[in-house]
Structure 1
Amino acid sequence: MTILDKIVAHKKIEVAARKELLSVQDLEGRPLFDKEPVSAKSWITSPNRSGIIAEFKRQSPSKGLINGTAKVSDVAEGYYKAGASAMSVLTDQEFFGGTVDDLLAARSVSPVPIIRKDFIVDEYQIIEAKSIGADFILLIASCLTPEESKHYATLARNLGLQILLEVHDEQELEAHVCDKMDLIGVNNRNLKTFEVSIETSIRLAELIPNEYVKVSESGISNIENIKELKKYGYQGFLIGENFMKTEDPAKAAIDFMKQL
């Protein structure tokens, strides 16, 4: 069993438990459920922003603890001031040390579009994402059947949320892309081996239809990576560990984006 298999298996148990605590009706009654989502596509493609989706991530299965002291609200404010086009907030607790409260905290201080980064395996998580103020969601092709990804994308769209579909290879891209998706993210990290190479994004670039915003994820550690990826049509760049591994992620983001 791969780490991805373990995460998905645990996620299904976790979601079942969350349903027992809060019903869909409870989620729909939260104040943020009626908030109009911010367009991630507009912010990421804006010439006035950096194109960077800056991530808040405490830990990961491959790296262990990345940052155990950073305060999410401070980091969120810093990312916005740095010029981030969007913010990614991990809400998986078991493997990444995140919670939905992290996203709520980021939402309270930052106007940028926020993605709920989690392993979505149930409709409930999408409704929950809307209820905590997320603007777009992540659908990971490796975790879903093509039918599931299209169904979840349709539900998200009906709630006003945009969708970032994450793929790792040609087969996932061909099988999962549909007209309900907004952004296509190529994860340069192999979720089975955790090896990283931006060559994955370069290889898949020409296969992504132009109507989708192209996002490169993972392994982006310098400005040269971004310049190279822009040549292949990428407009979004998800960066997490590069900022979070420092003592002050907000300052690291500001210093990095100044170079752009």
Structure 2
Amino acid sequence: MTFLSNILIEKEKEVKILKEQYQQQNYRNIKQEKSMYQTFMESSTMNIIAEIKRASPSKGEINVEVNPVEQAEQYATYGANAISVLTDTPFFKGSIEDLRVVRNTVDLPILCKDFIIEEIQINRAKDYGANVVLLIAAALPKQRLKELFDYAYSIDLEVLLEVHNETELMIALEIGAKIIGINNRDLKTFTVDLSVTQELAKLVNRNDILLIGESGIRNREDVEKMMEAGVRGVLVGETLMRSENLKETLKDLKIEFK
């Protein structure tokens, strides 16, 4: 069993309960003047998706006691361009409630980071204030990915479609993804290698695709590698969650495009 397969087994159980119990909420959902895609494509500096991440299967506890309101306020104050909220509970110690309180705190685009396998999860993400949802190519067959991708856009959510290899990248492009996250972490083994983004980005020769580098980005040097690869945004979790000076850490990562 891989990390990903274990997570998906638990997610199926969670979704079954969600289908039985979830009722539509009426939480505030901010309509962005500009989408995350537009904002990132027009930016003159590297875009940072700052993540609220309490724990992970590979690292264990990172910052379980984090106050998501305070963390989100600092992210927004110190220059994050979007906020990712991990809402998975069993493996990442997050919750959908984290997303709700972050939405009520900041006006930045919010990514609901979870293992989405059903439309009801997308509905809930929108209800709680997400602007963007994550779909993971490794988690679903192509046809199911396409169905969920189209559904998200039909209810005015953007999709960050995550890939890890050339096959998944080609699927993302065929589906019509405009925001493609290249995950340097292999979700089957959880090993991290920044060259994954560097190599896969070479295969994308379209100027209308927004590439996001994910996982293993710790410092300015890593961001420079991502920029040289053609990435316009990076998703940073653990580095920010462990930082003792968020202002300086974010300043270090927000380098200008050359």
Report the AA paired with residue 231 of structure 1: E
Give 1:145 deviation, angstroms: 0.7
Provide the rounded CA distance (Å) in 2 between the counterparts of 1:205 and 1:56. 26
The AA in structure 1 aligned to 2:31 is: E
Kindly provide the amino acid, as one letter, of the partner of residue 41 in structure 2.
T
Give the SS at the match of 1:88.
strand
Q: Deviations over 1:111-159 (max 9, x none)?
A: 1100000000111111111111000010000101111111111001011
SS in 2 for 1:207: coil
Question: Secondary structure of the residue that 2:84 maps to in structure 1?
Answer: strand
Q: Secondary structure at the match of 2:229?
A: coil
Q: How many residues align?
A: 251
Q: CA deviation at 1:70?
A: 1.5
Residues 50 and 257 in structure 1, CA contact (< 8 A), matched pair in contact too: no
Q: Which amino acid aligns with 1:36?
A: K
Corresponding residue SS for 1:177: helix
Aligned partner of 1:240 among 237, 242, 257: 237
Equivalent residues in 2 for 1:1-260, closer than 5 Å: 1-22=1-22, 26-27=23-24, 30-32=26-28, 35-37=30-32, 39-47=35-43, 50-178=46-174, 180-208=176-204, 209-246=206-243, 248=244, 251-252=245-246, 254-259=247-252, 260=255
* 1:50, distance to aligned residue in structure 2 (A): 4.2
For structure 2, the 5+ residue unaligned runs are: none
Aligned-pair CA distance for 1:99: 0.5
Partner SS, residue 32 of structure 1: coil
Partners of 2:172 and 2:180 within 8 A in 1: no
Q: Percent identity?
A: 38
Q: Distance in 2 between matches of 1:32 and 1:47?
A: 27
Letter in 1 for 2:139: C
Across the aligned residues of Structure 1 and Structure 2, the Cα RMSD in angstroms comes to: 1.6
The TM-score with structure 1 as length reference comes to: 0.92
Runs of 4+ in 1 over 3 A off after TM superposition: none
Cα shift at 1:257: 2.5
TM-score, scaled relative to structure 2: 0.92
Amino acid at match of 2:19: K
